[in-house]
């Protein structure tokens, strides 16, 4: 995630979800069916990010490099690293649709 996306997820934690989809193998196109089958959603990503960005901003850059969520600097670009362990167990497309239905009910 970009740093701005991470900050927004923390501020808007009740209205923000992370969507991740792995790249298809063998140059398979990403069509509707592939997206529905392979996408994973993390509706509580803002809570999982917690104060990682705030601590980064305070200059505590080397807190714990083995965490599932961390802020990193790569080629002068800050980003929020979300480990595969978090998004791989995210909810499916259909489960996320149900979460949205409840939210907007």
Phi first, then psi, for residue 10 (nearest 5°) are -70, -45
State residue 69's pLDDT score. Answer: 73
The whole-angstrom separation of Cα 32 and Cα 37 is 9
Give me the average pLDDT of each 10-residue run along the chain (105 residues): 90 95 88 95 92 72 60 70 87 97 95
User: Do 54 and 46 meet the contact criterion of CB atoms below 8 Å apart?
Assistant: no
State residue 79's pLDDT score. Answer: 79
Structure tokens at 99: 């979460």
State residue 95's pLDDT score. Answer: 98
């Amino acid at each position: 995630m970009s740093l701005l996306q991470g900050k927004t997820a923390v501020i808007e934690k009740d209205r923000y979800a992370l969507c991740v989809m792995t790249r298809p193998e063998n140059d398979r196109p990403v069509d509707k069916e592939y997206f529905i089958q392979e996408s994973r959603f993390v509706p509580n990503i803002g809570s999982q990010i917690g104060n990682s960005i705030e601590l980064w901003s305070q200059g505590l850059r080397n807190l714990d490099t083995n965490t599932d969520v961390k802020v990193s600097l790569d080629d002068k670009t800050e980003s929020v690293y979300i480990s595969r362990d978090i998004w791989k167990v995210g909810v499916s497309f259909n489960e996320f649709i149900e979460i949205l239905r409840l939210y907007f009910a």
